[in-house]
Structure 1
């Protein structure tokens, strides 16, 4: 399967989804490339307005439990529509209008797959963009891989995106690409923060039963071997059911082991419930590093005073010294623009959503025709680009089709203009991103 312009009859969306699911390509299924090769008749339809309008699909969770990851999308998409209206993308020497077609995954992987299929088959998008954790990115990427539509994903650890889809490091995928950080980066950032607080080096693990939880807790690629190398013991009571209301089993296990480090990748609502119950049952770690769920100001404000010094990874902030290749905005400019437009505090997904369009524009400008989807995919695979989230190099790996982004660590502190602000406290691997404080223990056991 070379491109999406083969002269074949167009399958309906229902036929396409049925073929994909029958081939074992679903929310977490693998074997995508093999299934695609076995079904050469599945192709992206020719666009209805060739050479004039570029259609970009964008899928993210605007509602549901993952909505914090999509909160800034309307701001970013509106800004991009205005930018492209004033700055058409030149392809093959001719200016092209840009249409951005957004779809809400509703925080459901099956819904994400369905709307992605609609964008490919009904709307004939030339390029798909997707963000909002592996629950969204994997399902959309799988649909694009099967259909031969170039796709760029972000805001998902590369292990969750690659292995969660049955991919192999040496081959990657033919049509789908990712820029993000990896578990190795989260592990290094968390360990640096742990090492700065005196603990018994026992960490309680809060893993959900989703793709990210399985990846983070993997005995091969996840935290257990990395923590052991640094002298930490992980207490793993087993993956909890995402959305579960009761965390008493996990809390009992952590208390029994006197786990003074808390480690997890819980969603916002799950962590808020866990943290509230921990206080009720007297579980008080000295440091807590939580991925995914506490990256957002709204979540932290809901937790209240108990959120002080909670730590998480930081993939983008106004302090990042990077500039947009499209608009020339600095990270600080972009964050300030969001606050001015919405009245809300910046959050990390702003930078990654913006960078998706930087990659899209660079790929489209590199080809001679928007109908040559293979050329668009190849342009992404060969891309080196300085973006607002940092320099991207899709040729460097760590695996085929993945570009790494820098990662630092932060803690939530009382703000000046806002109730809480995320302060960078760990930048050992990326000193170019300035730290604004040092790691502090949770206040319940301070002193």
Structure 2
């Protein structure tokens, strides 16, 4: 769809919506009128990864409001048009909709997010067609090596701003050391880009730190039962489970753990427990579930576009949508901040190479923290910091029953800790 901001967002931005763009009426220097700049957004709006897409429309509305719906560059005002396509959480469809955005819509830049299932095929299409692309919400290594990236060469047009595996593993180890130091870790790593890359990294990394590893092997998703894995974990005395899987699969796993009497001290559920929609079905069983996370309302950063704090952005999201904040609010906002900054700095917006060069040179303080494409573990990447959170019962004056508390910050010390880590309580 072509995104049209809500009336409220338009009024907040001091602008009026026309065919997916905003024309500002605030006082500005006189600029010549340029052609519309088309931004393609490849989103898993439906399917098992839909939780990733929940905040996207809110963020797009905020970005259009903050910019007045235009980019000013070189004495020219370019209207912004955002065209979003749903991948249905399917890799083949992700490639198809990206190709359509490029060849039919003629987009200037593509933004993609939501795990390798969505971002890798979209990035591949952009690389093939010479279109600048920014990916987020997936670890850097599965994005890079899952696309057969060569660290000696890199990519020409595609970039990723998110956390890397070393930071992810380090944040987990710092948490694990406070829950069950030197314990036994059960790996719930599926047969996909995330599972293959992370299984090796975590086996090596956790083992080197004195943890015993129980790995039942790769498995295909979706699955109807985790009984085999649960039995192996229980029989092996697993203290900590680390998994990486879409929300519906984690919900099934954790529900079956309760049914089968498996009670580890900690469960670190990546790609799922970051999202309120994925833990709501668990009810009280969500308390204590942990995950390293890249953004919370406690992050001490502000938007580079309008100066809004992380806390105020999260609360505004809850007020306007009726949904609980999610880490995707921060990473999606930061992605658009980088986009706007790139388009403002590019020397020739009609030249994809010029836009690509501006993207590659990005060094920007965002609502998620610094995004700097010179600090990644591999070319074309910018790494973010992480904190560990656990789900807790929320205060009585909070409108949602559960919330995430920051419990460990070794890999992002500027973010305050709100409580000590704790073993999962079983009632």
Q: Shared fold by TM > 0.5?
A: yes
CA contact (8 A) 1:199 1:261 kept: no
Report deviation, 1:371.
0.9
Report deviation, 1:232.
0.5
Choose the corresponding residue for 1:66, options 49, 70, 87: 49
Report deviation, 1:200.
5.9
CA contact (8 A) 2:163 2:385 kept: yes
Match status 1:313 vs 2:292: yes
Match status 1:192 vs 2:192: no
Match status 1:82 vs 2:61: no
Match status 1:146 vs 2:128: yes
CA contact (8 A) 1:321 1:432 kept: yes
Choose the corresponding residue for 2:401, options 403, 419, 432: 419
Report deviation, 1:348.
0.5
CA distance in structure 2 between the aligned counterparts of 1:81 and 1:288, rounded to whole angstroms = 39
Choose the corresponding residue for 1:181, options 163, 168, 179: 163
Match of residue 213 from structure 2: 234
CA contact (8 A) 1:199 1:286 kept: no
Structure 1: tracts of 5 or more residues without a match: 1-49
Report deviation, 1:367.
1.7
CA distance in structure 2 between the aligned counterparts of 1:183 and 1:384, rounded to whole angstroms = 21
Match of residue 185 from structure 2: 203
CA distance in structure 1 between the aligned counterparts of 2:180 and 2:34, rounded to whole angstroms = 62
Match status 1:159 vs 2:138: no
Using the size of structure 1 for normalisation, the TM-score is 0.86
CA distance in structure 2 between the aligned counterparts of 1:327 and 1:88, rounded to whole angstroms = 14
Match status 1:129 vs 2:111: yes
Residue by residue, what CA displacement relative to the aligned partner does 1:247-305 show, whole Å, maximum 9, x if unpaired?
Answer: 11101111111111111112211111111111111111111111111111122221111
CA distance in structure 2 between the aligned counterparts of 1:381 and 1:198, rounded to whole angstroms = 41
CA distance in structure 1 between the aligned counterparts of 2:353 and 2:205, rounded to whole angstroms = 38
Match of residue 374 from structure 2: 395
After the TM superposition, which segments of 4 or more aligned residues of structure 1 sit over 3 Å from their partners?
none
Match of residue 8 from structure 1: none
CA contact (8 A) 2:180 2:239 kept: no
More relative contact order, 1 or 2 (CA 8 Å, 6+ apart): 1
SS at match of 1:164: helix
Choose the corresponding residue for 1:119, options 98, 101, 117: 101
Using the size of structure 2 for normalisation, the TM-score is 0.90
CA distance in structure 2 between the aligned counterparts of 1:318 and 1:71, rounded to whole angstroms = 17
Residue by residue, what CA displacement relative to the aligned partner does 1:289-343 show, whole Å, maximum 9, x if unpaired?
Answer: 1111111112222111111111011100110111111121111121111111101
CA distance in structure 1 between the aligned counterparts of 2:378 and 2:231, rounded to whole angstroms = 39
Match of residue 250 from structure 1: 229
Residue by residue, what CA displacement relative to the aligned partner does 1:208-251 show, whole Å, maximum 9, x if unpaired?
Answer: 22111111112xxx101100111011111011221101111101
CA contact (8 A) 2:42 2:85 kept: yes
Choose the corresponding residue for 2:342, options 363, 371, 380: 363
CA distance in structure 2 between the aligned counterparts of 1:281 and 1:437, rounded to whole angstroms = 30
Report deviation, 1:123.
0.9
CA distance in structure 1 between the aligned counterparts of 2:123 and 2:206, rounded to whole angstroms = 31
Match of residue 293 from structure 1: 272
Root mean square deviation, CA, Å: 1.3
CA distance in structure 2 between the aligned counterparts of 1:244 and 1:112, rounded to whole angstroms = 22
Report deviation, 1:79.
2.1
Match of residue 310 from structure 2: 331
Report deviation, 1:87.
5.4
CA contact (8 A) 1:51 1:369 kept: no
Match status 1:267 vs 2:246: yes
CA contact (8 A) 1:287 1:310 kept: yes
Match of residue 100 from structure 1: 82
CA distance in structure 2 between the aligned counterparts of 1:83 and 1:200, rounded to whole angstroms = 49
Choose the corresponding residue for 1:382, options 351, 361, 372: 361
Match of residue 24 from structure 2: none
Further displaced range: 429-438 or 146-155: 429-438
SS at match of 1:299: helix
User: Aligned pair count?
Assistant: 392
Report deviation, 1:199.
5.7
CA contact (8 A) 1:300 1:420 kept: no
